[in-house]
Chain A
């Protein structure tokens, strides 16, 4: 069984929701990213989403934009990110890792070349923000032949007909963008999220996670019962922006806060 599937299976058996934690690879450097990945898993992160830096991250708010810029200042590449997965897998063979990024760096490596290297490195899924299903033929094929899950996005603006189409060739899980806006936005509406997630769940058996705008225990509490998991990005990345001093402790505390908010009654 694929790692993503078995992770959600186990969580379901324990009646738990998934905590998906996001960082940008190479922000502030590769060594720190590896350390933080291990810290996050030890404190309760169930899935790691690793941002792949791009010069023009069109869907990101300022917090994650700056993280992309810091990673690019270090000349972090997609190859570096794959090497990081190899390093991580030496100690952890069960936590799923998903790359989240923009198409151009992946295209530059080539869909097939990337996917076969990714599989050998121990990557589990990819999520390309600017690749709607209509433009994804090459990556869908390459991901599927290399056992990678292709995570699809659904937005508040996506209508039912489109949700159905998107679910048809999705795998791993569905990522529901909880607000119209960029990452780190601030106005999540639990009622709207609930109704949309219900619609999605009526059309697919895949787990649905909710992201954008979840940053603390309160926002976790407001959405945790609506879906199969939550994604936290900007709240973690903003801690990295503060500098390396006590970073590992700060990330560790944040993950504990979110993780216990996911559990509490």
Chain B
């Protein structure tokens, strides 16, 4: 008999110490209403059908579980399977969440959609569903991210979204989130804020986890079909942590499965220039949640660094903080260089070009697979495809496109 984990979050929106609802008073009633509506609608059969139809016909689910045969042979250890979220409509796992949240927004009678984005994947996924449902959409994006993800910026504009450049603070994802919160506080009556990660105030970490859990749920079935057992190891990259949470959550009580999250090591943990709060951060409060944060002694949030815009975030979803503390999941790092190497390797050997975020998870597969037995299985979440990153990679290589 395995010990079951409690159902979280608890009634205070907490995961152990973490999570909660640390926002200005103006937003508290809106969050209470969101929680109430979400708890009701998620039991509703019509809503469930609507979400699962959209996931099937619009997103293209289930995403395949692909055996990376040549890469497995090269690594010479565990069998490596790829959960192909990169094949979803819009090219990443982010759409799993936006498809669900926009239906919730419509159910709540909201007339306007806002979102924050880092790499632009969540922005694109939000602009996409907003276009499909005919709702106006504003996406907040840090100026620095706009420069390094110009392809996604143009995609959002084509989809009819307004992309607002955020020039405050570090001009990246965290500042985009501040700006989206400011918009929400101003337009709270008619606006729905689609948060893109398992972060922010309760109930967002729960909502985003639930909508992404389809990834892990499909994997339970696919594992039975492909290798007739649970995988030994699940690996996913962690920025805010939504793709990892979606993969891990259905396996939390399967204690024989190791859950490994890979944070962005940037230029190396020892340099301080990274985005790895679970490995080198301290508990604190940001963006409405208590979690591990990269911060200085005075409690100011530190500037982060990662080659991938989607992992460039000083905090992490509260449920990951809790999974770390109780030892259920392990959190490691892969640095910029390791991620770039893995990016190139998977592209060359399997013909699959992963997002730079995903490449961090792949870098850990490279370290781990050779140490495991050939009858063991690693499943890695290929959270997104790498098209959006070719400018970044070309620039690093000194190639002018």
Contacts and interface: CB of A to CB of B under 8 A. Distances in A.
Q: How large is the interface on A (under 10, 10 to 19, 20 to 34, 35 or more residues)?
A: 35 or more
B6 interface: no
A130 B24 contact: yes
Contacts of A59: 24, 182, 185
Interface in B281-321: 284-288, 293, 295, 297-301
B386 to A, nearest CB: 30
B26 interface: yes
Interface in A113-160: 129-132, 134-135, 153-159
Contact of B298 (A108, A155, A156, A162): A108
Contacts, number: 113
B150 interface: no
B22 A180 contact: no
A69 to B, nearest CB: 7
A162 B189 CA distance: 18
Contacts of A157: 25-30, 188
Contacts of B27: 157
A160 B387 CA distance: 52
Interface in B29-69: 29-30
A60 B169 CA distance: 13
A77 B22 CA distance: 22
B364 interface: no
A153 B24 contact: yes
A78 B287 CA distance: 20
B22 A103 contact: yes
B29 A55 contact: no
B28 A105 contact: no
A185 interface: yes
A197 interface: no
Nearest to B299: A108
B349 to A, nearest CB: 41
A131 B186 contact: no
A106 interface: yes
Contact of B28 (A62, A102, A156, A158): A158
B12 A77 contact: no
B178 A135 contact: no
A65 B22 contact: no
B284 A177 contact: no
A104 B21 contact: no
Contacts of B182: 58-61, 182
A99 interface: no
29 contacts: A54-B300, A55-B300, A56-B287, A58-B182, A58-B287, A59-B24, A59-B185, A60-B182, A65-B168, A79-B298, A102-B285, A103-B22, A103-B285, A104-B286, A104-B300, A105-B299, A107-B299, A108-B297, A132-B22, A134-B12, A153-B25, A155-B28, A157-B26, A158-B25, A159-B29, A177-B24, A180-B187, A180-B188, A181-B185
Given A132-B28, A158-B29, 10 more contacts: A56-B287, A65-B168, A104-B295, A107-B299, A108-B299, A153-B25, A154-B25, A155-B26, A180-B186, A180-B188
